[in-house]
Chains A and B, each alone.
Chain A
Amino acid sequence: MISARALAIISGLLFGCPGVAVAEGEFCSSVAFRDAFLEGQGAVDYPSVGPKLLKLGDRAVPCLAAIARGAADAPEISECKANPRTCRSWSILSLSTIGTHKAKSVLLELLGQKTDPVELAQVIGGLDALHALEARPAIRKLLKHKSPYVRARAVLALGSLGDSRDIDAMMTATLRLPRSNVNEAIRGLEFTGDPRIVGTLEELGRKFTDPVMHDEIVRTIERIQSGKAIRPTVKNGG
């Protein structure tokens, strides 16, 4: 005789039935999810989400969402106790890599919840990678975030999303960035391919006169003016 709870767990494991909260919780605590979650971590230079987690797809999303949020009921994975940030960050990368509508919805929620600049930038990157146009208004607001790290990442994402209505705000935000963050914003401006950005780049060139920055600005202007601007990588969306 199989109990109703056991049936719910089995059906959740087999079919990923939505709404079976007990089964979902059990699944997030399962060895199968843990192994899939940890696969690909530990790379010395280039972490990639493993095929096991990708195969789980939407079944893994609630588990990843709980970890990414740092929720009290997040799956207990011993490897995450030593460095919870690494696991939150890995979850954001995983959600974007899974890239389904459900995963993108979680990233959109996280965009309004995250306060840590590095994690917020990762969420922006996740939505950028999915070419999530619906995130554009929220990302545009982040051009005024207190952290220049986040503002630069927002310029890059808006350049990738490619709405010409954002260019003026992107240029203003770029001019207010410190030198240490400005190159990412320059790439975001270049993504637009819009010749209006040349004036902003020239202004940056007068502000930052060192050879490294000068070289980057000159090469970017040359690419823009020759019609060879680096354009964002085309995505299929999530």
Chain B
Amino acid sequence: MTRSVGPGLAIAIGVLVAGLLLAFTVGRYPVSLADLFAVLLAKATGHSADVAPAIQSVVLQVRGPRVLAAALVGAALAVAGTAFQGLFRNPLVSPDILGASSGAALGAVTGIFFSLSVLAIQAFAFAGGLLAVAAVYVVGSVVSARDPILVLVLTGVVVGALLGAGVGLVKYLADPYNQLPAMTFWLLGSLASVNVSDLLPLFGLVALGTAVLIALRWRMNVMSLPEEEARSLGVATGPLRIAIVAAATLTTSASVATAGIIGWVGLVVPHLARSLVGPDFARLLPTAAILGGGYLLVIDTLARTAAEVEIPLGILTAVVGTPFFIWLLTSMQRTWS
């Protein structure tokens, strides 16, 4: 049962390309493939395209930023999920295991509560995610234990629950006509309000976190062994764990700050990627990133087009993700049992 990289990676790239084409062409204003290529080619070469200005504006101004953001957010969540599943030696782990999402949620609803600007709300969400994970890590390290991983997970669950209570409190106190809908919308996740200006910081943070994880790919393989084994193989597990958690939290918080809370991507995509190229992080991380981008593009296109009103992403990923995950559980148990 050897797995070669080629076909698996090709499938992932195929999903990404299909997702990109779908996301650019499908919608209230359908764009033909020919027009899409003409507009993109013109943009790349600096010439003017022989396409109606309305189509150009749909491709470049309306869908462009959203498409790029969807690909980046999907990639970020998938990479973070892959890293956390390896680190916690558990395939049921998702990027919010250490409270990044709950922290970001509390940051965002607090920002909305104080009627801050969009940028400030994003900054609050990002900082909330980082602070929550840092708090979990500090609390987890203070508790001296034989199984640091277990303590970390339990601390994450407890702190996540506390932050959830905080979110509930802020929603309870919020103005029910203006602030509460905004909070609800944010908590369900959406890419509808993505701006061009969001893209650069998002890309920078996701690229940084992913680059760190890819650089550590071999050590991450060893880190997926039991703690004492990894140490006896020469890996300083403590410092390395901090680096991996920091990198994965960076990508998670950046994507949550941009798109709100989108579950399931970070749980399901790593499984798919693992079934395509196996568990070696050198292949797994890039494959998961590409596949995650493609997956969220498809989901986001559905969110825009499936109904008269836009469906929140968090709801759609759950509706698609749940049956998919159950199928995965029944059909793929052997690869990680």
Q: Do A and B come from one complex?
A: no
Q: Interface of A with B (CB < 8 Å)? A: none
Residues of B within 8 A of A (CB): none
